[in-house]
Amino acid sequence: MDLVDDIRRGEVRAIARAISLIEDLEPEAELLADSLFPHTGRALILGVTGSPGAGKSTLVDRLITLERRSGHKVAVIAIDPSSPFSGGAVLGDRLRMQEHATDPGVFIRSMASRGFLGGVAAATGDVLKVLDAAGYDTIFIETIGVGQTEVKIVELSDIVLLVLMPGMGDEIQAMKAGVMEIGDIFIINKKDMPGADKLLMEVEYVLSFKNPGEDTVTNPIVMTSATNGEGIGLLREAIAAHRTEIARSGKLEQKRRFRLERELMGVLNRKIHQLMDVHIEVSKQLPDWADTLYRRKACPYALINKQIQNFLKEGRGDRTN
Ligand SMILES: Nc1nc2c(ncn2[C@@H]2O[C@H](COP(=O)(O)OP(=O)(O)OP(=O)(O)O)[C@@H](O)[C@H]2O)c(=O)[nH]1
Ligand SMILES: [Mg+2]
Best residue for ligand 1 mutational test, from 58, 60, 161 (most atoms within 8 Å of Cβ): 58
Whether ligand 1 lies within 6 angstroms of the CB of 219 is answered as: no
pLDDT tens readout for residues 297-310: 999 999 999 988 98
How far, in Å, is the centroid of ligand 1 from the Cα of 178? Answer: 23
SS3 at position 223: strand
Length of the chain, in residues: 321
Nearest listed ligand to the Cα of residue 145: 1
Question: Per-residue pLDDT for 116 more than 80?
Answer: no
As beta bridge partners, residue 142 has 48, 78
Q: Take atom 8 of ligand 1 and give the residue whose Cα is closest.
A: 55
Atom of ligand 1 nearest to the CA of 60: 15
pLDDT band at residue 175, thresholds of 50, 70 and 90?
Answer: low
Angle at 158 between CA 165 and CA 207, to 5 degrees: 45
Task: Output the CA 209–ligand 2 centroid distance in Å.
Answer: 30
| Backbone phi, psi, residue 7, to 5° | -60, -45
The backbone torsions φ and ψ at residue 107, rounded to the nearest 5 degrees and listed phi first, read: -120, 125
Instruction: DSSP letter for 296, please.
Output: T
Q: Is 96 in the pocket of ligand 1 (CB under 6 A)?
A: yes
Which pLDDT score, from 0 to 100, does residue 135 have?
97
- Could you report the per-residue pLDDT of 117-167, keeping only the tens digit for each? 456 667 889 999 999 999 999 999 998 765 555 567 778 899 999 999 998
**Ligand 1 atom closest to residue 85's alpha carbon, by position in its atom list:** 24
The model's pTM is 0.88
The ligand 1 atom nearest the CA atom of 59: 15
User: Rounded to an integer, what distance in angstroms lies between the CA atom of residue 225 and that of residue 289?
Assistant: 57
Q: Which positions ≥6 away from 77 have C-beta within 8 Å?
A: 109, 110, 111, 124, 127, 128, 131, 139, 140, 141, 142
State the pLDDT confidence band at 228, using cuts at 50, 70 and 90. very high
Q: What is the mean pLDDT of the chain?
A: 85
Q: What is the pLDDT of residue 273?
A: 86
Contact 118, 109 (CB under 8 A): no
How many angstroms does the Cα of residue 84 sit away from the middle of ligand 1?
17
Rounded percentage of the chain residues whose pLDDT exceeds 70: 82
Are the CB atoms for 119 and 100 separated by under 8 Å?
no
